[in-house]
Amino acid sequence: MLTVASDIEMLARFGRALADPIRCRILLALREAPAYPSDLAETIGVSRTRLSNHLACLRDCGLVVAAPDGRRTRYELADDRLGHALDALRQAVLAVEHDKTCPDADAKGCC
């Protein structure tokens, strides 16, 4: 059963999805057009297994949906407005101090 996420939950899910560069590349590719996993894996340069794990995360976050297409499955953004949100985020200007890290940074740093 599908439910509508609250504003806070939706932003947290979007943030988790964007926290990984591979998931960002998947979302940007799907922003351009729906795609099959094999094509996505080739486009972004990852193994199909790795891609599958990231697609599962994006599905769990509610950002992409799988659409059966005969014997194959095509992936697309769950809502066209997500594409507009990605465009807006890409156009945003970030003020970054290069000698600082986020409080939640792991060993590699936040950004």
16 within a domain of the structure (yes/no):
yes
103 within a domain of the structure (yes/no):
no
DSSP 15-37: HHHHTSHHHHHHHHHHHH--B-H
52 within a domain of the structure (yes/no):
yes
Q: Residue 65: which domain range?
A: 7-91
pLDDT of residue 2: 59
pLDDT of residue 108: 44
CATH number of the domain encompassing residue 68: 1.10.10.10
Domain count, the chain: 1
d(CA 74, CA 65): 8
Query: Partners of 75 in the beta sheet?
Result: 35, 66
98 within a domain of the structure (yes/no):
no
Run of H or E residues at 85:
helix 80-91
111 within a domain of the structure (yes/no):
no
Run of H or E residues at 76:
strand 72-77
Distance (Å) of CA 32 to CA 29, 35, 82: 5, 9, 12
Report residues of the chain scoring pLDDT below 50. 107-111
78 within a domain of the structure (yes/no):
yes
68 within a domain of the structure (yes/no):
yes
